[in-house]
Chains A and B, each alone.
Chain A
Amino acid sequence: MAADWVRRIAVNHREWVFWIVAIALPLLFPGKLLLINEIAILALFALSLDLLLGYAGIISLGHAAFFGVGAYAAGLLAKHGLAEPLVGLLLSAAAAAVLGFLTSFLVLRGSDLTRLMVTMGIGLMLLELANRFDTITGGADGLQGVVMAPLLGLFAFDLAGRTACAYSMAILLVLFLLARRLVRSPFGLSLRAVKANRLRAVSVGVPADTRLVTIYTIAAAYAGAAGALLAQTTQFVSLDVLDFHRSADVLLVLVLGGSGYLYGGLIGAAIFKVMQDWLAAQTPQYWQFWIGLLLVVIVLAGRERVAVAIRRRWTALTRRFAGEPTP
């Protein structure tokens, strides 16, 4: 147990390897920049859900709500004059955070099922609103005419996705480091305590409700940032950002990679997107079937086991590259 803690706190070689590989990817596959951009965005979205699910134990079926709010905020800001990407990103994340803060009080009460219902209800409500107020959001046609200013005033967004990819990766890295710092702080530890046993956590003096509200708001901001990245790099927003399948997909991503250690969302996002890319090329219309089958198989095989297998493979791989002795 003690050794486990040391390993968790210390900056280890494996994390360096992960990020070197991640940064090398766009250089190795210059033809796949758009895909890598999507992976980075999905990874950030999954990271946000991991903060909720893996650290606070809140199951959400409506996480796309915050993704969508971030996306629409970024799109609308850019459309109505504020084309600077970084400011737009911050404001969009803030908008999602406000929504997250307001709705967090709804998920405090009740059982898992009530939470599922409430989160899903909020997601559907926003989808319905975005659909109805089509004079603002563009409705089913999507929000068009989003034009971004060059990043930092230097790098224009190009069709090949060079700027987009670098931008998303950089934001992902920064926000990841922030999340990593967060979950290893006393705050993060108290969250784990609440997740493990709320009653006991409260009785040793952890303000459980405040903790949950805080992490829900932070996770919402992260999801909003991911949505904003999508809107800014594709310069288009459609109702799809709020769709139910997005909430379900991100759960699958987290299940693929495993939750509760932050890298799960990142690895899961890469696996998911590559798989989707491949399956969509095979059976463009019906890839949803294979996603469903995958979910069923993973659950039947034991979610934990799959995640552990992936993590072990990953550890062995990076150890070898980092030159650590394999145990």
Chain B
Amino acid sequence: MLTILFDGLAYGMILFVLACGLAVTLGLMNFVNLAHGAFAMAGGYITVLLMSRASVPFLLCLPIAFAITALIGLLLERTLYVWLYSRPHLDHVLFTIGLVFMSIAAVDYTMGAQQQIIRLPVFLQGRLEVLGVSIGVYRLFVILVCGVLVVVLQSILVFTRFGSRLRAAVDDQRVARGLGIDVDAVFAITFAAGSGLAGLGGALGAEILGLDPTFPLKFMIYFLIVVTVGGTTSITGPFLAAILLGVADVAGKYYVPELGAFVIYALMVLVLLWRPHGLFTRRGAR
């Protein structure tokens, strides 16, 4: 029971790291980025390639995966995404689905359709026995890393000047512009960081979520659930939603395996019916 809770926690943490960039994109620019999973997949494959071809140690791969995907994100944002912000949602959807399809086919072409396996370093393998609860060492590692990330992100958002600019821009873009905040620059940086986090999440999660070319499609719905249920006005909302989703998914798969992912989808539809703007949204926000 506690093991399930623990696994669900690790799963949820990874989902949060994967999806928090999406929450910001959606909250800030009202842009529906269905291609967010493609960045996560890029991070995963970068790690696999670095480890197998260049035999870079796993821990070093994580920041590299972050940096490269952030760079890709920045590049795409400045060259392509930037034209689409003022277009209707349908355009966002079509464009990003197009990107997803391209990334799937491109990865399939270059890397093959099989599952990629990341060989974890020895000290992250195995299980620990703590107070009678069996805990995977890697899952503990994931929880620690993600926990630190959450704290760091939250403090950047709350305590730094950049954080207050970002919050201002999310709350009311026009007024923020009027106050002289360079919303476009703020957005470009956040987009890059969000993509980088997705890449990091992909690298961390490859072992737990699995990594193959269909990754962006398979997990697209999970990211969207985190964002829509958690709302886009804070970091805590998506965080709680991700943890809930992770625990519910692991528990659902464990207790009612015959229903599979059905539980999650049904829950999501119910939540959206009950609170169309998310569970953890502030009153009065968009």
A170 adjacent to chain B (CB < 8 Å):
no
Nearest CB on B from A99, distance (A): 13
Q: Which residues of A contact B89 (CB under 8 A)?
A: 59, 112-113, 116
Question: Given A117-B268, A128-B261: A292 and B221 within 8 A (CB)?
Answer: no
What is the CA–CA distance of A120 and B32 in the complex, to the nearest angstrom? 14
Stretch at the interface among B2-10, B156-164, B180-188, B271-279: B271-279
Q: Count the A residues whose beta carbon is within 8 Å of the partner chain — how many? A: 43
- Contact residues, A148-179 vs B (CB, 8 A): none
Cβ–Cβ < 8 Å partners of A294 in chain B? 98
Contact residues of B: prevailing secondary structure: helix
* Contact B273–A106 (Cβ < 8 Å): yes
The answer to whether B228 and A113 touch across the interface, beta carbons within 8 angstroms, is yes
Least Cβ distance of B28 to chain A in Å? 14
Closest chain A CB from B202 CB (angstroms) = 19
Contact across chains for A292 and B99 when beta carbons are under 8 A apart? yes
- Interface pick from A1-9, A26-34, A73-81, A247-255: A247-255
Complex Cα distance, B109 from A264, in Å, reads 33
Whether A110 pairs with B90 at a CB distance below 8 angstroms is: no
Interface residues in B69-89 by Cβ distance below 8 A to A read 80, 83-84, 87, 89
CB distance from B98 to the nearest CB of A (A): 3
Asked if B266 and A292 sit within 8 Å, CB to CB, the answer is no
- Counting CB contacts under 8 A, is A288 at the interface? yes
Complex contact B94–A117 (CB within 8 A):
no
Bitwise interface map of A from 266 to 310 toward B, beta carbon under 8 Å scored 1, else 0: 000000000000000000011111011111101110010000000
Contact yes or no, A121 B265, CB < 8 A: yes
- Cα(A111)–Cα(B116), bound, Å: 38
Task: Give, as a whole number of angstroms, the nearest-CB distance from B104 to chain A.
Answer: 6
* B93 in contact with A61 (CB, 8 Å): yes
Q: Does B258 contact A (CB under 8 A)?
A: yes
Cβ-based interface call for B269 (8 A): yes
Using CB atoms, name the residue of chain B closest to A112: B89
Q: A59 and B90: CB pair below 8 A?
A: yes
CB–CB A124/B221 < 8 A: yes
Residue pair B273, A109 in contact (C-beta under 8 Å): yes
- Is the Cβ of A288 less than 8 Å from the Cβ of B94? no
In A201-253, which residues have CB < 8 Å from any B CB? Answer: 244-245, 248, 251-252
- The answer to whether B276 and A109 touch across the interface, beta carbons within 8 angstroms, is yes
Q: Which of B102, B103, B260 contacts A128 (CB 8 A)?
A: B260
Q: Does A118 sit at the interface, judged by CB under 8 A?
A: yes
**B214: shortest Cβ distance to chain A, in Å?**
10
B95 interfacial by beta-carbon distance below 8 Å? yes
Residue numbers in B under 8 Å from A296 (CB-CB): 80, 95, 98-99, 102
Expressed in whole angstroms, the Cα–Cα distance for A107 and B26 within the complex equals 20
Cβ–Cβ contact B93 & A289, under 8 A: no
- How far is B286's CA from A112's CA once the two chains are assembled, in angstroms? 13
Interface membership of A122, Cβ < 8 A:
yes
Known contacts: A288-B104, A289-B102, A289-B106. The answer to whether A118 contacts B97 by CB under 8 A is no
9 contacts between A and B (CB under 8 A): A113-B89, A128-B261, A244-B217, A252-B94, A286-B105, A289-B102, A289-B106, A299-B84, A299-B95
A interface residues, Cβ below 8 angstroms from B: 53, 59, 61, 106, 109-114, 116-118, 120-122, 124-125, 128-129, 131-132, 244-245, 248, 251-252, 255, 285-289, 291-296, 298-300, 303
